[in-house]
Chains A and B, each alone.
Chain A
């Protein structure tokens, strides 16, 4: 009870039992959205509501990154006027939101998914194709 396992230790000790992939949802076009359908492999591990909330929050964050508002247009016009050299010193709005997403996923892994033997992989590491959820075997948790 005194020892607390960090996520790194967990990953090295536990064997990967399975991987679940949440695919993209294209019903609204080419925007980056993920399907909220609850995969059957996770039924024994996590609550359906919890999972759906995670995916929905991620979808909202990606929608915010790709939002067509005045800010993105100003950024685009400014970039064109400076012959696109402005991005050598400035970060785009999209990149800022991606950092927010990375932080959110880290937080979810620490609080919700890690204790249940699951690991969320940031979709950007998979080319924004899938959310990869790694399911670890239970034996290290029962020590």
Chain B
């Protein structure tokens, strides 16, 4: 059977004998020691020698940053001088503080590890296989495995992740864009260019809240600016002609406010009920069988406690240890399994192409 996507792992083949380990270390001593981020199997990009992490598909992060910087730049350049003269000097101060907070939150959200779980080592994967699969070698992809456990007297199903080769902890989900299992997975945000998970959810939340304040603030100030200008004996059109940048800002802010305020409201609801976007969309706890039976087992049933836990609770350090060094005798499972996995797909594609070519040939012959 050549197209075997799923392979049984033989634990006997993994035992490290002293002789092979020694020869390996003498070979590897000539190469420089590599950091773990260089051999990371997920689809991520790393900067500053592993200190910063971003998804490979960074989406529209440059656009987000660009929009924020351009709008605030126009605001400080064109609206602030007028408003400082006619109103108060605190306007650019507040605007500046909000801008700094928004940019720092955005960068923190984008460049922080969202809670990626490292993939299981081959020994671990073999151990899990042994506990489940007692029926010898499998020549087809086995049915998806689930394990049911009790959390706070409620039944929760844990799914087996075929890529990471482990049972996913509760509230963990596998992001297909980043090819990683992320703890307390909320969603993959293209605007931020990263997944939003356990470790960066509070940064994401403070980003959207502060962005709502910033856009509302700029919107209000620009309206005040144009109103004040048109009140001084000029018409509205004249006022706009004197300050065209304000119209640009108005348009950007108007469209942003609807979406950002809506998103902030939605996430405030999620924080208060200790839910993730993923769970809310799937309707995991939304009473399919009846409100009593399937409540959220992770909620503390108190809005303040839920908020405190989600936003101010303790956060573990990054589990993937990006800047650690790869041990010299470690087998890198992902690279080899990826290359093995590619072969069946490649041959399958070739077969399909050949079939199509044959059909076309036969059609052209008969035509």
Which A residues form the contact surface with B (CB < 8 A)? 12-13, 15-16, 19, 21, 24, 26-30, 32, 65-68, 72-73, 75-77, 80, 83-85, 92-95, 98, 124-130, 132
Contact = CB atoms under 8 A, between A and B. Distances in A.
A16 B15 contact: yes
A84 B312 CA distance: 11
Interface of B: 15-18, 21, 100-101, 104-105, 108, 117-118, 120-121, 123-124, 127, 149-152, 156, 158, 166, 169-171, 183-184, 202-203, 206, 297-298, 305, 308-309, 311-317, 319-321
Contacts of A128: 316, 319
Given A21-B124, A94-B315, A129-B117, A30 B309 contact: no
B169 A132 contact: no
B151 A27 contact: yes
Nearest to B205: A80
Given A15-B15, A84-B104, A95-B317, A132 B124 contact: yes
B147 to A, nearest CB: 10
Contacts of A129: 117, 120, 124, 166, 169
Contacts of B166: 129
A2 to B, nearest CB: 24
Given A29-B152, A83-B105, A124 B319 contact: yes
B101 A94 contact: no
B120 to A, nearest CB: 7
A26 to B, nearest CB: 5
B139 to A, nearest CB: 27
A75 B312 CA distance: 8
Q: Which of B21, B158, B312 has the most CB of A within 10 A?
A: B312
Given A84-B108, A127-B118, A92 B150 contact: no
B86 to A, nearest CB: 31
B298 A68 contact: no
B206 A92 contact: no
A80 B105 CA distance: 10
Contact of B319 (A27, A68, A127, A130): A127
Contacts of B313: 66, 68, 72, 76
Contact of A94 (B16, B121, B171, B317): B317
Contacts of B321: 125
Contact of B149 (A13, A27, A73): A27
A11 B177 CA distance: 40
B308 A73 contact: yes
Nearest to B112: A84
A75 B311 CA distance: 11
B202 A80 contact: yes
B149 A84 contact: no
A129 to B, nearest CB: 6
A85 B101 CA distance: 11
* Closest A-B pairs by Cβ, 3 of them: A76-B312, A127-B118, A127-B319
A76 B101 CA distance: 16
A92 B15 CA distance: 38
Nearest to B150: A27
A114 to B, nearest CB: 18
A65 B314 contact: yes
Most buried by A among B16, B108, B124, B320: B124
Contacts of A27: 149-152
Contact of B206 (A30, A72, A80, A127): A80
B161 to A, nearest CB: 11
B318 to A, nearest CB: 10
B182 to A, nearest CB: 12
B124 A126 contact: yes
A92 B203 CA distance: 16
A83 B311 CA distance: 13
A83 B120 contact: no
**Which of B127, B149, B297 is most buried by chain A, counting CB atoms within 10 A of its CB?**
B127
A16 B118 contact: no
Given A15-B15, A72-B312, A83-B101, A26 B151 contact: yes
